[in-house]
Structures are given as C-alpha cells and as structure tokens.
Amino acid sequence: MQYRQLGRTGWDISEIAFGGWQLGGEWGAVDDEASIATLLHAFSRGVNFVDTAEFYGEGHSEEVIGEALRRWDGEKVYVATKVRPVQWPAASEGDPQMRGRYPEWYVRKNVDDSLKRLGVDRIDLFQLHGWFPQGITQLDWLEALLALRQEGKIDRIGVSIRDYRPEDGVDLASCGLVDSLQVVFNMFEQRPRHFLFPAGAQGGSGFIARVPFDSGSLIGHWTAGTYASWPQDSVPAWLFRGDRFRETLGRVEALKDLCAPYYSTLAEAAMRYTLSSPEVSTVIPGMLTAREVDMNVAYSDAEPFPTELLTALEEHGWPRNFYQ
C-alpha cells in the first residue's frame, strides 16, 4: 500500500481508502457481519482511512464501521464522517444560500450522535455533506465546527462538494478554509484535474476522490441485462433509470476498447486514472467483499499512468448530473 499526505493534516493515509455508503443498505441488501469482515480485511491490507456519513442508512454505516473499529487491534485507522444540511437545495440550484444550512445546535447533535455510533472519542475528519459557494462569506458553519474542534470532539474539518459541481470548490480550495475537499473524479468526470486540484496548491487543502468507478459503470462488468438485476428501490437503479443505463453502457464499451491495450480490465484503468493525479490524497471506492478489497489494493503500486492514454481519455470526458 502506498500512502499520501492528506493536505496539511500531517496524516499519512492509504491512497486506497474505504468508502462506506454501501454499508448502509441503499445499494442493495447487506449482511453486517460480512461488512465487518470486509472492513477488517481492508485494515489488515493497509487501508487506514474510512469515509462514511450519518446519511448512509440513517447512521447504520457508522454503526457497522464502529463495530469493526472495536474489533480492530492494529494500527490507527482514520475515520471521516459527514453531516447533511438541514435542507438540501434542488440539484439544479446553482448558487444556494449557505447560511442556516448547518446551524450550530444541529451540527452539535450530529457530532454527538456520530461519536456514539462510531464508538470513538473524537472524529478525525468531520465533513459537511454539501458545500455551497456562499459559504466563503457566510461563515456560521465554520464557527460551529471550530468550536467543536476546540472542545476536542472533532479533529479536522472537510467538505464534500455537490455531485458534478467541482467548480463550487475552487474558491474554497484556494483560500484554505478547510483541511480537505471531497469531489467526484473519474474517467468521465475529469474537470477537477484541470481547475480544482491546482487551486488546492494555494490553500493547502487535501483532496478525497469519490466515485472512481462512476457508481459501478467503470468497473466494466455491465451487460445489457444488468439493469434488470438491480432492486428497483436501490441507488443504482435510480441513478441509471430511463435511457441513462443504455447511454452509459455505450460509453463504457468505448472506454474498454481504448484501455484494453494498456490494462486487462476497465476497473484497473479507472482506479489508476484517479490515482494518477498527485493532488489526490486518497480514493474511496465502495467495497463489499474481501475480493473487492484485494482488487483495489493491488492498484496501489506507484505504477505511472500512460501519458498517451491520459491524453486520449480527454475526449471521453462526460460531466453530467444524474442526481437531477
């Protein structure tokens, strides 16, 4: 396992980390004991950073991770979680108000609840689960988090940028108000490489890359019949509804052809693409089994990404918001 610094925190975190949304059950049925076993296997393979949120299964993901941490007797595992705003803006709303989205009483309650579910004395990285650019000047959210940091309930502060809106984080990254920014970054959503990551060099914030496999499409195992196999109340069925699945599959097949001379699977190409940006501190794929852990950990070997492939992938950028 290779390790990278998370911005200015001084932490050496595994460049392959553990994304915990699927542990909550929204991506399909889960077995908690199997999830705990997968987490422990990941920790044993050198994964020392896990990302979750109270939103994932209404706290269930945090509870499962908390139990895994209680059973783990190895090296330090850094835990990141998030708090959703009291009201989400519409996905199409470009510049929503930030003030009042994270009132102090609400943030405090969420921190206390997360501490209990995770079974820890302090949350290593506490993130806002939605960042809105007006937060640069409407700073009530920061005052609340700094007070909690002074009290020792949280250590570092981060934000999660809204899906497919990397431009929302540029000013925040430049001024360095937070320790980390989490953003969608993969072979379809390439824009952070061009303008968000360079902004972080000025402010010293670290970057956490999420959705490296585009919610499953870039693993490369889809077929025409895959959509019908998903529970209709699951997240992937909702994301890729209507014509979205068919269009995504067509674009994925084109990527397979492009990457085949370089990598044996599209999943490997996708993960190595995300890791190819040195500004990325860690990538947080969702993993359900020990086999999936081993597959992802194997890509952490410092092998450079082919320059000619990186250039060829530019024309396959496909930013879109399936959350609308």
DSSP string, 120-131: -SSEEEEEEEEE
Q: Give the CATH number, domain containing residue 223.
A: 3.20.20.100
> If you average pLDDT over residues 307-319, what whole number do you get?
97
Residue 187 and residue 180: Cα distance in Å, rounded? 22
Q: Are 65 and 120 in contact (CB under 8 A)?
A: no
Strands 12-14 and 3-5: antiparallel
For the chain, helix, strand, coil in percent to 5 are 45, 15, 40
Distant-in-sequence, close-in-space partners of 84: CB < 8 Å, separation ≥ 6: 53, 54, 55, 129, 130
Q: Does any domain span residue 304?
A: yes
Q: Angle between the 140-150 and 104-118 helix axes, to the nearest 10 degrees?
A: 40
pLDDT given for residue 26 in this prediction: 84
Tens of pLDDT, residues 286-304: 999 999 999 999 999 999 9
Q: Does any domain span residue 278?
A: yes
Whole-angstrom CA distances from 94 to 57, 165, 256, 276 are 27, 9, 34, 30
Q: Does any domain span residue 320?
A: no
Q: Does any domain span residue 164?
A: yes
Q: In this predicted structure, which of 177-186, 229-238, 277-286 has the lowest mean pLDDT?
A: 229-238
CA angle 307, 6, 156 (to 5 degrees): 150
Strand, coil or helix: 324: coil
Q: Does any domain span residue 321?
A: no
- Dihedrals phi, psi of 30, to nearest 5 degrees: -130, 150
Total domain count, the chain:
1
Per-residue tokens: 175? 């001024």
- Dihedrals phi, psi of 279, to nearest 5 degrees: -70, -20
Residue 283 and residue 281: Cα distance in Å, rounded? 7
Strand, coil or helix: 49: strand
**What is the average pLDDT score of the chain?**
96
pLDDT given for residue 321 in this prediction: 84
- Eight-state DSSP code of residue 193: I
Give the global pTM: 0.96
Tens of pLDDT, residues 180-222: 999 999 999 999 999 999 999 888 999 999 999 999 999 999 9
Strand, coil or helix: 57: coil
pLDDT given for residue 161 in this prediction: 97
Q: Does any domain span residue 324?
A: no
Q: Partners of 161 in the beta sheet?
A: 131
pLDDT given for residue 25 in this prediction: 85
Whole-angstrom CA distances from 266 to 186, 220, 263, 269, 273 are 12, 5, 7, 5, 10
Q: Which domain holds residue 101?
A: 3-315
Q: Does any domain span residue 323?
A: no
Query: Which residue from 141, 136, 158 is spatially nearest to 210, judged by alpha carbons?
Result: 158
